[in-house]
Amino acid sequence: MVDFDLGDRLQQVRERVHRFIDTEVIPSEEELGHDYEKLEALREELQAKAKKAQVFLPHLPQKLGGLGLNWRQTAVVLEEAGRSLLGPQALNAAAPDEGNMHLLSHVADEEQSTRYLHPLARGEIRSCFAMTEPAPGAGSDPSLLRSVAERKNGKWSINGTKWFITGAEGAAFTIVLVQTLEGPTMFLVDANNPGFSLQRTIPTMDMFMPGGHGQIDFIDCLVDDDAVLGEVGKGFEHAQVRLGPARLTHCMRWLGIAGRSMEIATRYALERDSFGSKLSEHQAIQWMVADSYTEMHAARLMIWHAAWKLDQGERARQETSMTKIFVAETIGRVIDRSLQICGALGVSEDTPLSHFYREARPFRIYDGPSEVHRSSIARRIFREADQT
């Protein structure tokens, strides 16, 4: 059964992270403002502070410099870190690097780990994961994969276009999923490879991400056999090592932003007078607060249960899909209610709520749109029913 007791060590880590976010990270939000060019330098500065505060790299084992937390424990820490959009970056536990570290730690060979995983874990470099393609290529349906890799004079030649690749600009390398004669295969490609071309950083409503969301062309991108990550033809299976846990860690981080949004809204409701009483005394406001905290509690329990399943060695595909839908939609509602409670102040830039609103909305799309996850959940239920 899921253990709800945090234990002394986890409680101490949680308190350290909470204190670090309050004293070091949240004050840095004003320093950054909307100058996203400063984000890379600020990220490095905060990571150095996170190492000193002993909150760096919670999700990786101690032999890689991490805190050695399991998934259920990581859920507690990432929710605390997620109270600021800068928090996961500071702890080196943000997408896409966090998911790539997990994938590399399970699939990469020793040489690949030394070259890619170790500097990534130390925060010395960034990375990206290139799977999504422009239509009619792979998006929510990975079977539509059109980018290819073919044998050419003893090397692999990769050709194709990937887009909405988070963190692409400034990444030291990418993990790219393409078709080969043997089937889908993942390759490690250095960003300085002559066949790797970042065409543009795509303008999007969410902007708080080092490297943005890029469009990459692979044009006769030549790599050796040692660039194959895992086995040739096993790309989809290897990708599942990353995708399930990665969508769950997204949920952990975003739940922190939902909680911070409610913190801001409840403080405002306690102070703001309206029609002869405080906003907090109006039933309409009370119901919004109650609904938000109820839904966040349910979201937290879903995250913890799915994380516990991963800790038991299960793939938890059904649980992570259900959790992703519920949490993505919950945090949207919670931020929206928080903004509504704060009224004109909420839509202003005097609080971070409008910023949170813009950044959180795409969560219902990336890592699988809610509609795709609903279909997958239903298909699994019908398969099980058909076998009974």
The CATH number assigned to the domain holding 297 equals 1.20.140.10
pLDDT tens-place string over residues 372-384: 999 999 999 999 9
70 plus 140 within the same structural domain: no
- The CA distance from 2 to 5, in Å, is 9
140 plus 191 within the same structural domain: yes
Note whether 253 and 113 are within 8 A (CB). no
249 plus 297 within the same structural domain: yes
Q: Among 121, 145, 178, identify where a domain stops.
A: 121
- The CA distance from 203 to 296, in Å, is 31
pLDDT for 54 beyond 80: yes
pLDDT given at position 3: 82
- Domain membership flag for residue 1: no
State the CB neighbour count (10 A cutoff) for residue 313: 7
43 plus 151 within the same structural domain: no
State phi, psi for 178 to the nearest 5 degrees.
-140, 170
pLDDT tier, 69 (very low <50, low <70, confident <90, very high otherwise):
very high
- The CA distance from 292 to 333, in Å, is 8
- Domain membership flag for residue 177: yes
Q: Strand 173-180 to strand 127-130: parallel, antiparallel, or no bridges (unpaired)?
A: parallel
Q: Decide: residue 125, CB within 10 A, 0-12 exposed, 13-18 middle, 19+ buried.
A: middle
Arithmetic mean of pLDDT, 206-221: 95
- The CA distance from 280 to 273, in Å, is 9
- The CA distance from 356 to 137, in Å, is 31
Output the pTM of the full model.
0.96
Arithmetic mean of pLDDT, 73-88: 98
pLDDT given at position 36: 74
360 plus 276 within the same structural domain: yes
- Domain membership flag for residue 2: no
pLDDT for 34 beyond 90: no
334 plus 311 within the same structural domain: yes
pLDDT for 32 beyond 90: no
Q: Which two tokens stand for residue 201?
A: 């950083």
pLDDT for 86 beyond 80: yes
pLDDT for 1 beyond 80: no
- Domain membership flag for residue 234: no
Q: What's the CATH code of the domain at 52?
A: 1.10.540.10
pLDDT for 31 beyond 90: no
pLDDT given at position 14: 98
pLDDT for 85 beyond 80: yes
pLDDT given at position 179: 98
184 plus 273 within the same structural domain: no
Q: What's the CATH code of the domain at 219?
A: 2.40.110.10
pLDDT tier, 312 (very low <50, low <70, confident <90, very high otherwise):
very high
pLDDT tier, 340 (very low <50, low <70, confident <90, very high otherwise):
very high
57 plus 95 within the same structural domain: yes
State the CB neighbour count (10 A cutoff) for residue 180: 18
316 plus 269 within the same structural domain: yes
Q: Among 121, 144, 171, identify where a domain stops.
A: 121
262 plus 368 within the same structural domain: yes
pLDDT given at position 65: 96
State phi, psi for 226 to the nearest 5 degrees.
-75, 0
Domain that holds residue 90: 7-121
pLDDT given at position 37: 81
202 plus 284 within the same structural domain: no
Q: Among 73, 91, 121, identify where a domain stops.
A: 121
Q: What is the tally of structural domains in the chain?
A: 3
> What ranges in the chain are assigned the alpha helix state H?
7-20, 26-32, 39-52, 71-81, 87-90, 97-107, 110-112, 118-121, 235-271, 283-311, 317-347, 353-360, 370-386
- The CA distance from 303 to 252, in Å, is 7
